[in-house]
Structure 1
Amino acid sequence: MAEAASTQVKILESTRIKPPPDPPNSATEVSLQLTFADTFWFKIAPVERLFFYQLDNSTSTPAYFNSEILPKLKHSLSLSLLHHLPLAGNLKWPSDSPKPFILYTPNDGVSLTVAETNADFDRLSSNGIDEALELHPLMPQLISSYDSASILALQITLFPNKGFCIGITAHHTALDGKTTTMFMKSWAYLCNQENSALPIELTPFFDRNIIKDPTGFDLDMLYLNQWLTNDGSASEPEITKNKTLKISTDEGEAPNLVRATFDIRPEDFKKLRERVLLSKSSEEEQLHLSKFVLTLAYVATCMIKARVENNRDVLFGFTADCRSRLDPPVPQTYFGNCNTIFTKIVKAADFMDENGFALAVKQVSDMVKKLETRSGVFEGAKEKLTPIFHIGPIQLITVAGSPHFDVYGSDFGWGRPCKVEIVSIDKNGAISMAESRDGSRGIEVGLALKKHEMERFSSLFLKNI
């Protein structure tokens, strides 16, 4: 691991980018109600993504960047917000409203910070092991108060004579990873065009009426009240205190963690699949052996073993997109959250021997199979949040991102990203997943662990890959 160094940034500009004032719709107030898929994420920390872009010698000078690249990024951002007006607005929660809602009003805009740093671009955008906190100065913060919270914040940081990065922080109550990625692609698309029109596959769909509560339990208010009452255990003063949109700035374990990225290549999946098929457990039933299942099972097994001590519980799971799984199906361009989670609490000791990987595959496969039927998607919907409030000390292994988001497709005109990070995994125990940046059809996995655990994980991971 490189010697720890704090990333120093110089703030050059703090501004607010608004949609263009000319089109009539930018002068119109827009309000969106939260669905049960939104309130489910009410107190979850904002999602932070970082896109690194390498430039050549002629385009990476401060003079060229500030005169050519930055103005183009700002202009195309404004055009993109015209198609995503709610992103320029805020979450609002008036005292007389039972739940928050999204509100855009004319003159609203997205906070944009422009910065510069002399940090090592090549190291920060590599797969190597580095201090987790080094990426934090490259990320913007959402602005929040008791009754209002911004939905999106952006930061563009120049690494002179090397490249730049775009940090995007998104409020999970308002949008999921698929919506955030679509916005980035829309912004990139318009940065390459001379008009403000978006293709149909990048045009957001805003009608919230298409999200139907399949249970009849009023899940939107059920989830919100579970957050406010800590699932029924809070006193009245605590409930009042919890009824706020103020975002916590707690960095959690991040100051004690290092982060790294690991690649699983197509030939590795072949070996992992063969390993499962040779195990006894695979004979019991038909397993779902997708790249996602193999990745989560293998990484989770290595993470569990990396902690050595086995007398503990582990919660692992993932979030699944539900757009194509609802009845009727929801458009792929739906703006907002349209997903559900699947979790499983297991004993670490069960995964410590040579059959641990095969067992993990079976556990993940069983969860994935629930997605094959619409009834399985929302099975146990009322209790989906319960584990968050009732578990004690536990190892969390969840998934942020997806290999299907195509995050490396966000090309603003100066090439595809050379690295995409989900910075916020250092706050919530998640691992990140994305498609391999080299187009090899592999999967790259990002982790944030304590240094000694990362060293053990790396040894375990490379042993069978």
Structure 2
Amino acid sequence: MDYRSRPLNIVEVCHVPPFSNSFKSTLTEFSLPLNFSDIFNLKFPPVQNIFFYKLGESTTTFFKTVILPKIKHSLSITLFHFLPLAGYLSWLQNSEKPIIIYNTANDGVLLTVAESTEDFDHLYSEVRYASESHPYLAPLFVSDTKVSILSFQITLFPNKGFTISSTFNHAVLDGRSLSLFMNSWAYICRNLDENVKISPSLLSEELNPCFDRTVIPGSEGLEMRYLNYWLGLKLPGSDANPRSLEPIPFPVPTDVLRATFGFSREDIKKIGERVSKLENGNQTKPFSTYVLAYAYTLVCMVKAKGLKNNNKVKFGLTADCRTRLNPPLSRNYIGNCVTSCDVLVEAEHLLKETGVVYVSKRLNEMIKGLENGVLEKAKEKVPYMDVEPGVRVILVVGSSRWGMYGADFGWGKPTNIETTTIDVGESFSMMESRDESGGVEIGLVLKKNEMEIFDSLFVHGLKV
């Protein structure tokens, strides 16, 4: 069943520029280069998330007179602090590399405002078709030579709540950058003085973004290596123009279900202790590694019907490099600063009772390998890899350390956050728990029969 054709009332489509005043002069035009990690992600699809806000007092009148004006005004102020994100990515004919360009005369972000009569509670809390989310996603302008960086859609569900969906260009931002932007936007909105409209609120120190694009020591040559890779890549269905900024098209299945599974601190402790016992008490790994290993193993067991012992499975994740570089970058660096990591394992190890032990060991070895040099690892990678036949690839996106649930705009923190991007491919999302510190949420998109198996394995596994 495809829910993308469901009617949605588009109330407004507007352009939100950065706030401006006479107290702080801004450049009328400037550009920023991309770093090696940006170019690594140059042609990957935009990343999309939906933040669900349950709100009893969400009548159309209250939404239009209180919520929407504050959200729009605070977005403008937030862009004042994150000025480059109001621009766009461009690849001019006379430019060797794509660059970020900002021009105050024209720039800002696209904001769509809509209303929906769909069941809000069903959307954020129940197992459902993944395509049911698609009407609430923010469109992003994309062309051969020019791509927007950010866009948002706010959808009201009268008397129930509202959603804020974000779509961002993966060549300019990573998940940590989005989290900082959303938390900054929410901070400004909930602290907005309705009587003061001329001077933007100052951000707290922990939210101040860093756009320093000084060349990262040791990364020389990586930008052009990755760029030349994209220029030479030929994929069926992709644009014939090698300099096109159009993302690689990935098919989106319409027959898959979406669900969120939560690990409490007690669940994580139990998994860690069980794995430690199977390892003869050798508990040296962070508990987050056990959560990943457990989720990876369950997904593989769900897919076991199509796996043979001699098949191989590749587990992949992205690791934040900000603190792993020498010297380290600011934790509030805005841009991509991640590296992809993967480990190839044989299916026969995954389908045993000790599969989670094996996976946690391999993941731990992979993560520890980053300590020997992030840039050295980056030099071994190419952005898009053809996987040999018989190899299943399972990816995890996101992190439990980004604090996404801190995005409280003044009416409470999100009831749920969905990483809609996992609709394509065999992947799952990872995020901190909404309900307790130290908990973790896993978002999954699977076929109906696979989701039923995963749910059964998940519940049984935590009770054993």
Q: Normalising by the residue count of structure 2, what TM-score does the alignment of the two structures yield?
A: 0.91
Distance 1:83 1:257, change over 3 A: same
Residue 313 of structure 1 deviates from its aligned partner by: 2.7
1:379 aligns with one of 376, 379, 396: 376
Contact 1:33 1:102 in 2 (8 A): yes
- Tell me the residue number matched to 2:212: 207
Tell me, yes or no, if structure 1 residue 434 matches structure 2 residue 446: no
Q: Please say if 1:403 is aligned against 2:403.
A: no
Question: In structure 2, how many angstroms separate the alpha carbons of the residues matched to 1:99 and 1:264?
Answer: 43
Contact 2:276 2:283 in 1 (8 A): no
- Among residues 173, 198, 202, which one is paired with 1:197 in the alignment? 202
The correspondence for 2:153, drawn from 146, 152, 155, is: 155
Say whether 1:118 aligns with 2:103. Answer: no
Q: Contact 1:50–1:139 (CA<8 Å) still a contact in 2? A: yes
1:30 maps to 30
Match of 2:64 in 1: 66
Instruction: Tell me how far apart the structure 1 counterparts of residues 13 and 334 of structure 2 sit (CA, whole Å).
Output: 27
Q: Figure out how many residues of one structure are paired with residues of the other and give that number.
A: 448
CA distance in 2, matches of 1:267, 1:403: 16
Deviations 1:375-405 (A, max 9, x none): 3323332222267234446422222111111
Assess if the C-alpha contact under 8 Å between 1:399 and 1:433 holds in 2.
Answer: yes
Is the 1:21–1:27 Cα contact (8 Å) retained in structure 2? Answer: no
1:225 counterpart residue number = 228
| Secondary structure, counterpart of 2:376 in structure 1 | coil
1:276 aligns with 2:279: no
Q: Secondary structure at the match of 2:96?
A: coil
Counterpart CA distance in 2 for 1:376 and 1:347 is 27
Q: Is contact 1:26-1:82 (8 Å) kept?
A: no
Whether the aligned pair in 2 keeps the contact of 1:229 and 1:239 (CA below 8 Å) is no
State the distance in 2 between where 1:55 and 1:291 align. Answer: 34
Matched, 1:86 2:66: no
2:307 paired with 1:310: yes
Offset, 1:263:
0.8
Q: State whether residues 2 and 254 of structure 2, in contact with CA within 8 Å, keep that contact through their aligned partners in structure 1.
A: no
Give unpaired runs (5+ residues) of structure 1: none
Please, what is the CA RMSD of the aligned residues? Answer: 2.1
Q: Would you say 1:54 and 2:59 are equivalent positions?
A: no
Cα 1:393–1:129 change in 2 (3 A) is farther
Are 1:289 and 2:289 an aligned pair? no
Structure 2 unaligned runs (5+)? Answer: 194-199
How big is the shift at 1:427?
Answer: 1.5
1:170 is aligned to 2:173: no
Amino acid across the alignment from 2:374: V
Deviates more, 1:107-116 or 1:13-22: 13-22
Secondary structure at the aligned position of 1:119 is classed as coil
Identity across matched positions, percent = 42
1:246 aligns with 246
Q: Which residue of 2 aligns with 1:455?
A: 452
Flag the 1:167–1:386 CA change in 2: closer, same or farther, 3 A. Answer: closer
Name the amino acid aligned to 2:426: G
> Equivalent residue for 2:197?
none
2:44/2:247 contact within 8 Å kept:
no
Answer yes or no: is the 8 Å Cα contact 2:129–2:257 preserved in 1: yes
Q: How far off its partner does 1:5 sit?
A: 5.4
Q: What do residues 152-208 of structure 1 show as CA deviations (whole Å, max 9, x unaligned)?
A: 010000000001000000111101111111001111111122342111211111111
Task: Give the structure-1-normalised TM-score.
Answer: 0.91
